[in-house]
Amino acid sequence: MLVITRVRKDPEVRRTELIDAALELFCSAGYEKTMITDIVKKAGVAKGTFYYYFPTKEAVLEAICTRWDTELAASFRLKGRQGTALSKLQAFILQLTFPGQLDVLFDKLWEEKQFNLLYQIWQQETETVFNPLLADLIRQGNREGTMHAACINETLVFFWSTLECLWEALYLREPSEVLRNKVKIAEAILERILGIEEGALQLSVAWP
């Protein structure tokens, strides 16, 4: 008598497989063209399994971004344990501009004009993953005397607005001279809002 044993995977392993399958399809076919049926077929699971972990296609997209952001934040915390607040800030901004697989995904979403979805996910990620990290960094700078930012939450709103200008310039591959000018302006703005001594912040970005 033939007995078929069903292989049961750890829930976190199964969830990761669905995220990996969705990421690959979103990057190749695009977010709009990828259906949930495509994701489950690639992951080799039933459709009900997908809904056990994710209520919607948008939810798995959010999970992709959360995983990347969480890994980046964890890596940054590990590497920057001994640094000054200023050196940590410079390293954090540089790390955010490094190209990666998520850039391919964002390019697809941009091409599909999914601006509201992009903005919604990014806002959620900055508030839950990056802002606590940056708040700790600013508090450290305040203690060290290299930063003087009283209203940290409000300051972070302007911090992200400044970085968005740099990301747009990098994404649009603006001329090097223009990008250098924008980096200098960003340095001046961040020094002002964080209470950093003029000329002390030296930003580096991953040039296209």
d(CA 84, CA 81): 9
Please give the pLDDT value at position 131.
95
pLDDT, one tens digit per residue, over 37-89 is 999 999 999 999 999 999 999 999 999 999 988 888 888 887 767 889 999 99
The owner of tokens 């990056």 is 130
Residue 64 tokens, joined: 């992709």
pLDDT exceeds 80 at position 7: no
pLDDT confidence bin for 118, thresholds 50/70/90: confident
pLDDT exceeds 90 at position 104: no
Cβ within 8 Å of residue 36, ≥6 positions away: 47, 50, 57
For the chain, domain boundaries: 7-55, 65-194
pLDDT, one tens digit per residue, over 163-193 is 999 888 888 889 999 999 999 999 999 999 9
**What does the H/E/C string look like for 133-200?**
HHHHHHHHHHHHCCCCCCCHHHHHHHHHHHHHHHHHHHHCCCCHHHHHHHHHHHHHHHHHHHCCCCCC
Backbone angles phi, psi at 98, to 5 degrees: -65, 135
Please give the pLDDT value at position 80.
67
pTM metric for this prediction:
0.83
pLDDT exceeds 80 at position 9: no
pLDDT, one tens digit per residue, over 119-130 is 888 888 888 989
Average pLDDT, the chain: 89
pLDDT exceeds 50 at position 3: no
d(CA 18, CA 20): 5
CB 175 within 8 A of CB 161: no
pLDDT exceeds 90 at position 6: no
Query: By percentage, how much of the chain surpasses pLDDT 90?
Result: 60
Select the more confidently predicted residue: 142 or 10: 142
CB 148 within 8 A of CB 193: no
d(CA 60, CA 58): 5
pLDDT exceeds 90 at position 206: no
Please give the pLDDT value at position 158.
95
Q: Top-level CATH class of 7-55?
A: mainly alpha
Please give the pLDDT value at position 182.
94
Number of neighbouring beta carbons within 10 Å of residue 146: 19
pLDDT exceeds 50 at position 5: no
Select the more confidently predicted residue: 3 or 118: 118
CB 67 within 8 A of CB 19: yes
